[in-house]
Amino acid sequence: MIKKMTIERAYEMLEEQGFHCSQCVFSHAADIFNLDPSMALKMSSGLGGGCFCGGTCGAVTAAALAISMAYGYDQPNSDEQNDILVEKLQEFKQRFADKNGSLYCKDLLGGYCFSVPEDEEIISEQDLTKDCPQLCVDACEILDEILADYTK
């Protein structure tokens, strides 16, 4: 049985254990795909903070990685499978953006970016990551719905 991502679990991972949003979401996906938990945490660790440059939120990129695991392809000229993958990714991105206003870490953090030392101070002082556990929950809930028809 796959554990549902809860706000408490996300908070524990982010705030108490010091993991990134990407690790929170991809560790959830690891449960779905029976991946080694440690490897999943390592694989997704560099995606946090929009790859630490304010780009696409790590929760979103981790979900994209999970969607790719389910609907991606490994054979040349897989146009039909690519179309399915793109459809699933577009659905995820649209739903996440509709719910949270953006796909981008910098936007979600009020215009601040972890890669700028002055911004990092502001992010910390103003607790701008306070919504990150909910962003992870949102990403996991949408991911669960998108992967509902996935069969291994």
| Structure confidence at residue 150 (pLDDT) | 82
Q: What does the pLDDT look like over 56-86, one tens digit per residue?
A: 999 999 999 999 999 999 999 999 999 999 9
Question: How many structural domains are present in the chain?
Answer: 1
Residue 91: which pLDDT band, with cuts at 50, 70 and 90? very high
pLDDT at 152 over 70: no
Domain extent, residue 131, equals: 7-146
Q: What does the pLDDT look like over 92-122, one tens digit per residue?
A: 999 999 999 999 999 999 999 999 999 999 9
Whether 151 is in a domain gets the answer no
CA 119 to chain centre: 22
Whether 134 is in a domain gets the answer yes
Whether 2 is in a domain gets the answer no
Separation of alpha carbons 33 and 22, rounded Å: 16
Share above pLDDT 90 across residues of the chain, in percent, rounded to a whole number? 93
Whether 152 is in a domain gets the answer no
DSSP-H helix ranges across the chain: 7-11, 21-33, 37-44, 48-49, 58-71, 79-100, 105-108, 117-125, 132-146
Separation of alpha carbons 32 and 132, rounded Å: 22
DSSP 126: T
Whether 1 is in a domain gets the answer no
Q: What is the largest CA-CA distance in the chain?
A: 50
User: Taking each helix axis from N to C terminus, what angle separates 58-71 and 21-33, rounded to the nearest 10 degrees?
Assistant: 20
Pick the range with the lowest mean pLDDT from 24-28, 51-55, 136-140: 51-55
Q: Within a 10 A sphere around the Cβ of 22, how many other Cβ atoms?
A: 29
| Structure confidence at residue 151 (pLDDT) | 65
- Residue 83 CB contacts under 8 Å (≥ 6 apart), including other chains: none
Nearest C-alpha neighbor of 137 from the set 90, 97, 96? 96
Q: What does the pLDDT look like over 21-46, one tens digit per residue?
A: 999 999 999 988 999 999 999 999 99
